[in-house]
A and B are shown apart, each in its own frame.
Chain A
Amino acid sequence: MSKARPEVGLFVTCLVDLFRPGVGFAAVALLERAGCAVTVPRNQTCCGQPAYNGGDRANATAIAKQVVEAFEKFDYVVAPSGSCAGMIAKHYPQLFAGDPAMAARAGDLAGRTHELISFLVDIRGMDALDVKFDATATYHDACSGLRELGVKAQPRALLERIEGLRLVELPGAEMCCGVGGAFCVKYPDISNKMVANKTRDIAATGAELVLAGDLGCLMNIAGKLAREGSPVRVRHIAEVLAGMAGQPAIGEGRR
């Protein structure tokens, strides 16, 4: 698998595709910098988690099959999200438990599917960045990336390489922000309590910027900070690592 220039299929993720294309372009830039050839398959929509976690296994399986077919020709699948990458890497094989042929294809794809930042560090050995960014930032560990894929040290290692960036650890960094897919709209009051705990912890760091690797969490956190009138800005870590943090932050108007 140590091709000089591996073919990477970018799984953009539905939220990045729809709400923050800038993260997709940052991911492309980082992957190219890491020596990969990046392709964006046209036939991708979502990883299927809304159906999978909503109990709709038939639709989840159909969507998973679509993803496997669109991506299995690449050396790697990379997603700028631990949640979506975790879905493909950890859950797809189980979805096809009754279909050995598809289970094998899904299992094969699962082994080649990675979350963006851990892919850059663990698979491509990225350890240097020629990026300057003057800010005091803190980092939230999104649940699926952390617990399903072991994304913890990699983002911090790369952030430390950014000139001018001061990283402050977030107390309770591993606590869920409360978004949980449809959870945040099905149980909005509990979700609110959880995200309010998160913004309280963020405020305690004194950081002016919050980073994470999953747009779902980031939109939740940014939305709550905005509602509270906080000046803290919110970005996907890929934007900062790619030197593409010039665009307005998440939920911020055009200046």
Chain B
Amino acid sequence: MESTSRNFNANVRAALANDALQSALGKIESGFVANRANAAPRLPEFDALRDQARDIKDHILDNLDFYLEAFEARVLESGGQVHWASSAADARAAILDICRSVDARTVTKGKSMIAEEIGLNDFLEENGIEPVETDLGEYIIQLRKEPPSHIIAPAIHLVKEQIEEAFRGAHEGMFDSGRSLEEPRALLEEARAVLRQRFLDADVGITGANFLIAATGSTVIVTNEGNGDLTQTLPKIHIVIASLEKVVPTLEDTSTLLRVLARSATGQEFTSYTTFSNGPRRNGDPDGPEQFHVVLLDNGRSEMLGGPVRDVLRCIRCGACMNHCPVYGAVGGHSYGWVYPGPIGAVLTPTLLGLDEGRHLPNASTFCGRCESVCPVRIPLLSLMRHHREQAFEDKLSPAAERTGLGVWAFFARHPALYRFATGLAMRALAWAGRKQGRFSTLPFAGGWTAHRDLPAPQGDTFQRQWSARGGRRR
């Protein structure tokens, strides 16, 4: 997927001016956020489970090679194949080879952020293979030719009317043009009717994976629509695409992670479908694919493993950080410009695409900490974003004026006597200038502040001067 992260500010302006988007974003607090807030305390051991989930993931990262090899061995034993892809291009090529081996014309897809990361849909289309998204949200945005704006709710940026418009355009001639699509239910049923035939026609089904279980060679997906099951059981070939850090030692560990995943994501105790896949159809199995392939994508992960943002590899892609992020809530996922939005994207995008491209994302945070407070695997998102800021500062990527301003301020802050003298004068002048109104609606060098709000004027002398004048206790 092409990144527009470097155009973050332009993306933000468009997002803030987009009324439909603002209306759609307004529902996150009463939806996902409220649901998680209700679900978490209903499980008394929820916070203890978060600690366990963190520890499981840390243990995996410490032994990633071991568990990946074990997973590969189990997949081979069950008759499946494993394809190691060090880059996005490698993964795309591996998938194309498999599709071509059966002359595939259409491919159904379950929801996968890794497929987004490697730009799979465009690539398949360029090679004459039609990808069909089967998750309702993904189906909608595929019709609209846009990327997902959220990692678990790809069409969360849309209002119902926009979905109706997309359906009327794409399904022209398939249904009575006078039909009512007022009710969300009607939209759902129409998508279902269209997709039913696509499921049956598909030559290959591609899904992501929430977990890869080393002990059993299983791949696991969680969905609420059952589309993943139809995607992976009906076609001749099932391809699973997942990044390396998705591997988990045992079924029991998977169970722990599942318990925090759904609650953090949607506030559900469990998703409607949790599907375990083990190899191709065996003799006597009533259904299932003839071939089972797992494409394991590195794409920078093994480098991250030994670096300063390693903790982000704990992520289980629940989306809680973005649901709770006030910046995400103000500007939506597309503003972030690449696959992963919100706080997790603010850490991942500069890591995977470089700070030159992603510098804005970790800076565009108030560090309010709400993301960290809900992360099910306790990723220190603020520290990781701060790491990117430090690297950007070191590489002199921020605007020169910003760095100069910070330098001048720091010089004074490190020389208290000079600071007291300079601020004493400045505040007296500022207080005098603002004495009547008590605030400024414009002020030189404060345009960033006064563009949208007044600046309260200082009361008068600084506290330090007044304390000295009163003979207060000093040392």
Contact check: which of B16, B394, B419, B475 meets A189 at CB < 8 Å?
B16
Determine the chain A residues whose CB is within 8 A of the CB of B441 once the complex forms.
227
Shortest distance from the beta carbon of A147 to any chain B beta carbon, whole Å: 4
Name the residue among A41, A44, A54, A172 with the largest chain B CB count within 10 angstroms: A54
Is B423's CB under 8 angstroms from A143's CB? Answer: no
Task: Say yes or no for B453: interface residue by CB 8 A criterion.
Answer: yes
User: 0/1 per residue, A17-43, Cβ < 8 Å to B?
Assistant: 111111011001000000001111111
Task: Say yes or no for B147: interface residue by CB 8 A criterion.
Answer: no
**Which residue of B is nearest A63, CB measured?**
B413
Given the contacts A185-B448, A186-B363, A40 and B391 also touching, CB distance less than 8 Å: no
Is A66's CB under 8 angstroms from B439's CB? Answer: no
CA distance A53 to B362 in the complex (A): 10
User: Interface segment, B59-67, B184-192, B285-293, B404-412?
Assistant: B404-412
CA distance A48 to B454 in the complex (A): 25
User: 0/1 per residue, B393-407, Cβ < 8 Å to A?
Assistant: 110001000100011
Is B455's CB under 8 angstroms from A223's CB? Answer: yes
Is A55's CB under 8 angstroms from B16's CB? Answer: no
User: Which residues, 170 to 212 on A, are CB-close (under 8 Å) to B?
Assistant: 172, 174-176, 178-181, 183-195, 197
Task: Say yes or no for A243: interface residue by CB 8 A criterion.
Answer: no
Task: Say yes or no for A157: interface residue by CB 8 A criterion.
Answer: no
User: Interface segment, A109-117, A126-134, A246-254?
Assistant: A246-254
**Which residue of A is nearest B423, CB measured?**
A18
Is A219's CB under 8 angstroms from B455's CB? Answer: yes
Shortest distance from the beta carbon of A72 to any chain B beta carbon, whole Å: 11
Name the residue among A45, A66, A189, A223 with the largest chain B CB count within 10 angstroms: A45
Contact check: which of B370, B389, B393, B439 meets A223 at CB < 8 Å?
B439
Is B436's CB under 8 angstroms from A192's CB? Answer: no
The number of chain A residues touching the other chain, given as a range, is 35 or more
Contact check: which of A16, A50, A227 meets B452 at CB < 8 Å?
A227
Shortest distance from the beta carbon of B379 to any chain A beta carbon, whole Å: 15
Given the contacts A16-B463, A55-B394, A176-B370, A50 and B448 also touching, CB distance less than 8 Å: no
CA distance A183 to B474 in the complex (A): 34
Is A55's CB under 8 angstroms from B449's CB? Answer: no
CA distance A39 to B216 in the complex (A): 65
**Which residue of B is nearest A27, CB measured?**
B463
Is B423's CB under 8 angstroms from A17's CB? Answer: yes
Is A176's CB under 8 angstroms from B326's CB? Answer: yes
Given the contacts A21-B462, A40-B474, A253-B436, A188 and B365 also touching, CB distance less than 8 Å: no
Given the contacts A189-B12, A189-B13, A195 and B331 also touching, CB distance less than 8 Å: no
User: Which residues, 220 to 254 on A, are CB-close (under 8 Å) to B?
Assistant: 220, 222-224, 226-227, 247-248, 250-254
Contact check: which of B386, B446, B467, B472 meets A52 at CB < 8 Å?
B386
Please report A residues at the B interface, Cβ cutoff 8 Å: 12, 14, 16-22, 24-25, 28, 37-46, 48, 50-57, 59, 62-63, 66, 73, 143-144, 147-148, 172, 174-176, 178-181, 183-195, 197, 219-220, 222-224, 226-227, 247-248, 250-254
Please report B residues at the A interface, Cβ cutoff 8 Å: 9, 12-13, 16, 29, 326-327, 330-331, 363-370, 372-373, 386, 389-394, 398, 402, 406-407, 409-410, 412-414, 416, 419-420, 423, 427, 435-439, 441, 446, 448-449, 451-464, 466-467, 472-475
- Ranked 7 nearest A-B pairs via Cβ: A180-B366, A185-B448, A55-B393, A223-B453, A55-B389, A251-B456, A176-B368
